[in-house]
Amino acid sequence: MKLWVNGGLHDEETARVSVLDHGLTVGDGIFETVKTERGETFALTLHLERLTRSARGLGLPDPDLDEVRRACAAVLEANPTELGRLRITYTGGLSPLGSERGDDGPGLVVAVGATSRRPDTTAVVTVPWTRNERGALTGLKTTSYAENVVALARAREHGATEALFGNTVGRLCEGTGSNVFVVLDGRIHTPPVSSGCLAGITRALTAEWTGALETDLPLDVLETAEEIFLTSTLRDVQAVHRVDGRELAAAPGPVTAKAMRIFEERAARDRDPRLG
């Protein structure tokens, strides 16, 4: 694979970033994952807007979005994939050991990997750890993802593909790499960003296109919700068929199936200029 590192394309085997990059030593970095299909990106503009928001939240200089776009195009051209994911990583840059964030500027790495279509349904578990809805990193897509890695490992131990967090006051929040929606009395609800969840791009599009409500919900709504589904760049809209020990009848249920259909249709290119 050829990937972009700080200004140019390199072979994966020989591409280099410093072992003293703050992104590696203290997780001081941000990232985006962008879906690609036959060399075309999906919603790149929205991802780049969030990349800039995350950079500002972390006190990193604004990324040069022209360079990021060029990097994405170059990586996609060099690595043809039917269905893929671009990974844009932007880090704090080189720092001598023990010092603050370095003067050598941030680092930009763009890589692409192949993906496959996700199954229509999946199992999730809740985890006892909480999302902090008032933390310094809340809402930022930072590379400090170790907590998500631990929670996802817990999910896999239980035969699930996603772990759902509540926040510090017991409200439903999000998954390790997805947002969560529930159906109550036939209406779709998703936790507000004030719950501490990431402002997911798939979440926003799904909410807009289905008329879902932003509702502050208790974590235990998962015990009674008629239907549950996840959204993310790599899952699109994915129905949940089991949450902890509870099997949900007929997943995807009718409301989720409709949301999946709406998302697929509306996400088709050229219908919405924000999606290019």
Residues within the interface to ligand PLP (CB under 6 A)? 33, 174, 177-179, 198, 200-203, 231-233
Could you tell me the smallest distance in angstroms from the CB atom of residue 63 to ligand PLP? 17
Could you tell me the smallest distance in angstroms from the CB atom of residue 203 to ligand PLP? 6
Q: For ligand PLP, which residue has the nearest CB?
A: 200
Q: Helix axis angle, 254-266 relative to 201-210, nearest 10°?
A: 110
| 209 CB neighbour count, 10 Å cutoff | 16
The b-or-e profile of 250-275 (16+ CB within 10 A means b, else e) is: ebbbebbbebbebbeeebeeeeeeeb
Half-sphere exposure of 104 (CA within 13 A, CB side): 15
If the CB atoms of residues 95 and 143 are measured against ligand PLP, the closer one turns out to be 143
If the CB atoms of residues 28 and 174 are measured against ligand PLP, the closer one turns out to be 174
DSSP-based three-state secondary structure for 21:
strand
If the CB atoms of residues 94 and 263 are measured against ligand PLP, the closer one turns out to be 263
Q: Pull the structure tokens for residue 7.
A: 């200004």
Q: Helix axis angle, 201-210 relative to 44-58, nearest 10°?
A: 130
Q: Give, in order, the Cα–Cα distances in Å from 258 to each of 233, 252, 269.
A: 18, 9, 19
If the CB atoms of residues 51 and 198 are measured against ligand PLP, the closer one turns out to be 198
DSSP characters over 81-142: -SEEEEEEEEE--B--TTSSS-SS--EEEEEEEE--PPPSEEEEEEEEEEE-TTSTTTT--B
Q: Omega before 61 cis (within 30°)?
A: no
DSSP characters over 196-208: T----HHHHHHHH
If the CB atoms of residues 47 and 241 are measured against ligand PLP, the closer one turns out to be 47
Could you tell me the smallest distance in angstroms from the CB atom of residue 236 to ligand PLP? 9
Q: Which residues contact 2 (CB under 8 A, 6 or more apart)?
A: 9, 10, 11, 12, 75, 78, 79
Could you tell me the smallest distance in angstroms from the CB atom of residue 151 to ligand PLP? 10
Could you tell me the smallest distance in angstroms from the CB atom of residue 229 to ligand PLP? 13
Q: Which residues contact 66 (CB under 8 A, 6 or more apart)?
A: none
If the CB atoms of residues 79 and 176 are measured against ligand PLP, the closer one turns out to be 176
Could you tell me the smallest distance in angstroms from the CB atom of residue 165 to ligand PLP? 9
If the CB atoms of residues 95 and 161 are measured against ligand PLP, the closer one turns out to be 161
If the CB atoms of residues 22 and 47 are measured against ligand PLP, the closer one turns out to be 47
Could you tell me the smallest distance in angstroms from the CB atom of residue 231 to ligand PLP? 6
Could you tell me the smallest distance in angstroms from the CB atom of residue 180 to ligand PLP? 9
